[in-house]
């Protein structure tokens, strides 16, 4: 049994998720309880993931954490909240399951190392993958088997949605203690195999206003946020669930774009206003609209989080043509060969009609690169001991 070993090490990976019905605003800052429910798509870990090793040992004298090779302050409130919650769940489990006293391992300190295979804080939801991975890895070493929503959520709200693959909803819940504010899978990873996701990376710089501070100001100042939470989101959650279940791309795409637009409208309704979109983001919106108008239907949809990068949803039979349209409108400045990362995309020629329909002057270098990916599974445990980021001494291996 894990609890009897002097040292337990586990390495896990967790995915990024992209919300199509956005979470923006908390009703409880401490417990991270949202003002509205949200729904997201889990992205494939072949392209974007966090890898985390957790090691517990009777010989460790303090909890320690390394992120992307750098030692971090383990005292940060959100890391502390995750550690406290997981130890509480572990104690609870023992006290209900066993008559024996709690195993010693519950008092062991933990060392954690975590790496992302994509730029941190580039608006690519790295905190979601990071805290989901932390919660998952801690649960393995401390032997917690219950739902981890409340652990991941207290790291970063959107992280609870990264605990599952496929399509995931975060039910806002009503209780003051947050027990019913949990993530649930709406449809599994393989439910909609034709769906593709393109991340158009406009900037890899750290965002000026983080989500946490941004949404706090929105809650305090935006009347639109209140209206959205009460009068708009409930019906949108139901409609988005239907679109996903029925694989209705037209409905899915349109609602995804409208919900992104409403989130950014709230940012502008916030005082002082917040703007995450830049000129390139707006040109991408224009490109998507021209592309859809040309085809007479919604073939691609955009969504933007707290940064200028666009996430595009489309179906496999449209990827090549849309990527050609992106290359036409945003000619890669250099490393043309590194412009496209992730899933292979075959080259396609644009018709003169479509070129004319895109109707704007090209912006060279506006998009740095594209990551092509798809819907993916939830967190995974890596069985290969070579995958551990920490050595048997509990310190980062040189490569970590
Ligand atoms: C725009 O989950 O990063 O990406 O709970 O304060 O950590 P905290 O915020 P965070 O907010 C994500 C906001 C969003 C929309 C979404 O993912 O639903």
Residue 400's pLDDT is 47
Instruction: Report pLDDT for 93.
Output: 75
Average pLDDT over residues 309-329: 97
| Weakest mean pLDDT among 12-21, 110-119, 162-171, 184-193 | 110-119
199-223 confidence digits (pLDDT tens): 999 976 766 789 999 999 999 999 9
User: Which ligand 1 atom sits nearest the alpha carbon of residue 215?
Assistant: 6
CA of 348 to the centre of ligand 1 (A): 36
Residue 335 has pLDDT above 50, yes or no: yes
pLDDT score, position 336: 63
Per-residue pLDDT, 3? 45
Q: Is 34 in the pocket of ligand 1 (CB under 6 A)?
A: no
| CA-atom Rg of the chain in angstroms | 22
* pLDDT tens figures, 15-74: 999 999 999 999 999 999 999 999 999 999 999 999 999 999 999 999 999 998 899 999
Quote the ligand 1 centre to 54 CA distance (angstroms): 25
* Alpha-helix runs per DSSP H in 126-199: 126-142, 149-153
φ, ψ dihedrals at 334, nearest 5°: -140, -175
Q: Three-state SS for 112?
A: strand
pTM: 0.95
Asked if residue 32 has its Cβ within 6 Å of ligand 1, the reply is: yes
Residue 230 in this model has a pLDDT that exceeds 80: yes
Predicted pLDDT at 143 = 92
What Cα–Cα distance (Å) separates residue 337 from each residue in 4, 322, 327?
52, 17, 12
Q: Which DSSP string do the residues of 164-175 spell out, in sequence order?
A: SSSEEEE-----
* 331-355: average pLDDT: 89
Q: What is the pLDDT of residues 290-309, one digit of tens each?
A: 999 999 999 999 999 999 99
- What residues contact 83, with CB distance under 8 A and at least 6 apart? 63, 74, 110, 138
- Tell me how far the alpha carbon of residue 156 lies from the centroid of ligand 1, in angstroms: 7
The chain-wide mean pLDDT, for the chain, equals 93
Residue 17 Cβ contacting ligand 1 at under 6 Å? no
Q: What's the pLDDT score for residue 2?
A: 45
Place 384 in a pLDDT band, splitting at 50, 70 and 90: very high
Give 353 or 107, the one with higher predicted confidence. 353
Please indicate whether residue 305, judged by its CB atom, sits closer than 6 Å to ligand 1: yes
- Measured in Å, residue 350 CA sits from the centre of ligand 1 at 37
* Ligand 1 near 266 CB (within 6 A): no
The pLDDT score that the predictor gives to residue 4 is 56
Q: Residue 136 pLDDT > 90, yes or no?
A: yes
Residue 322: CB partners within 8 Å, gap ≥ 6?
198, 291, 299, 300, 312, 314
Q: What is the pLDDT of residue 123?
A: 57
DSSP helix, strand, coil percent of the chain (3-state; round to 5): 40, 25, 40
Q: Alpha carbon of 310 to those of 226, 261, 280, 350, 385: distances in Å?
A: 26, 12, 9, 22, 37
Cβ atoms of residues 300 and 377 within 8 Å: no
- Do residues 134 and 82 lie in contact, with contact meaning Cβ atoms separated by under 8 Å? yes
User: Length of the chain, please?
Assistant: 400
CA distance 270 to 159: 24
Contacts with 77 (C-beta within 8 Å, 6 or more apart), sequence order: none
What average pLDDT does the segment 123-135 reach?
87
Query: pLDDT class for 164, splitting at 50, 70, 90?
Result: very high
Nearest atom (ligand 1) to Cα of 34? 5
């Amino acid at each position: 049994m894990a609890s009897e070993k002097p040292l337990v090490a586990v390495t896990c990976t967790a995915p990024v998720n992209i919300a199509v019905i956005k979470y923006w605003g908390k009703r409880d800052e401490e417990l991270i309880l949202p003002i509205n429910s949200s729904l997201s798509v889990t992205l494939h870990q072949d392209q974007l993931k966090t890898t985390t090793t957790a090691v517990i040992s009777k010989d460790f004298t303090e909890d320690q954490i390394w992120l992307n090779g750098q030692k971090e302050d383990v005292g940060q409130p959100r890391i502390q909240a995750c550690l406290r919650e997981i130890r509480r769940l572990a104690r609870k489990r023992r006290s209900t399951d066993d008559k024996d006293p709690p195993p010693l391992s519950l008092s062991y300190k933990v060392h954690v190392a975590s790496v992302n295979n994509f730029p941190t804080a580039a608006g690519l939801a790295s905190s979601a993958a990071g805290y989901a991975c932390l919660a998952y890895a801690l649960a393995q070493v401390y032997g917690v088997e219950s739902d981890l929503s409340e652990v991941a959520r207290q790291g970063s709200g959107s992280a609870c949605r990264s605990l599952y693959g496929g399509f995931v909803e975060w039910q806002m819940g009503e209780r003051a203690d947050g027990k019913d504010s949990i993530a649930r899978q709406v449809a599994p990873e393989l439910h909609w195999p034709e769906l593709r996701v393109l991340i158009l990376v406009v900037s890899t710089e750290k965002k000026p206003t983080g989500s946490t501070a941004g949404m706090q100001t929105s809650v305090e100042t935006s009347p639109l946020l209140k209206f959205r939470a009460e009068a708009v989101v409930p019906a949108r959650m139901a409609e988005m669930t239907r679109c996903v279940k029925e694989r209705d791309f037209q409905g899915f795409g349109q609602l995804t774009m409208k919900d992104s637009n409403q989130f950014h409208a709230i940012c502008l309704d916030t005082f002082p206003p917040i703007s995450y979109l830049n000129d390139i983001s707006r040109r991408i919106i224009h490109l998507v609209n021209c592309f859809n108008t040309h085809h007479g239907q919604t073939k691609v949809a955009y969504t933007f989080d707290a940064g200028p990068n666009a996430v595009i949803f489309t179906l496999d039979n449209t990827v090549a043509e849309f990527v050609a349209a992106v290359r036409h409108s945003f000619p890669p400045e250099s490393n043309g060969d590194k412009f496209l990362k992730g899933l292979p995309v075959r080259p396609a020629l644009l018709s003169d009609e479509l070129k004319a329909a895109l109707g704007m002057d090209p912006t060279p270098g506006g998009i740095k690169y594209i990551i092509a990916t798809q819907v993916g599974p939830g967190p995974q445990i890596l069985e290969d001991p070579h995958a551990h980021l920490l050595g048997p001494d509990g310190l980062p291996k040189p490569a970590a």
